[in-house]
Amino acid sequence: MADDVSIQHRIKSLIDEEHELRSALQSGEISVDEEQSRLRSVEVELDQCWDLLRQRRAKREFGENPDDAQVRSERTVEGYIG
């Protein structure tokens, strides 16, 4: 199981990748379709990382083991209604 720091590093890496994709599109290195496809994957993984981090923090706050937090499915994290 990942710890909070490694999850935060992964989030930063995904944000960097998102910025790189947007720059690559602007410079004509990739097509809109390629950018959108890859961005979708990045965004889903970002949502999963943020969700995992929130789960870990909540477990810690309530005296539970944060290592019991699990990555939830795309369907779950993308289905949240704010």
- What pLDDT is recorded for position 25? 95
Structural domains in the chain (count): 1
Query: Angle, to 10 degrees, between the axis of helix 4-26 and the axis of helix 32-61?
Result: 160
What pLDDT digit, counting tens, does each position of 19-32 carry?
A: 999 999 999 999 99
Categorize the per-residue pLDDT at 80 as very low, low, confident or very high, splitting at 50, 70 and 90. Answer: confident
What pLDDT digit, counting tens, does each position of 70-79 carry?
A: 999 999 998 8
- What pLDDT is recorded for position 34? 95
Q: What pTM was estimated for this model as a whole? A: 0.88
What pLDDT digit, counting tens, does each position of 4-52 carry?
A: 999 999 999 999 999 999 999 999 999 999 999 999 999 999 999 999 9
Question: DSSP states of 12-45 as a string?
Answer: HHHHHHHHHHHHHHHTTSS-HHHHHHHHHHHHHH
**Domain span at 28:** 4-78
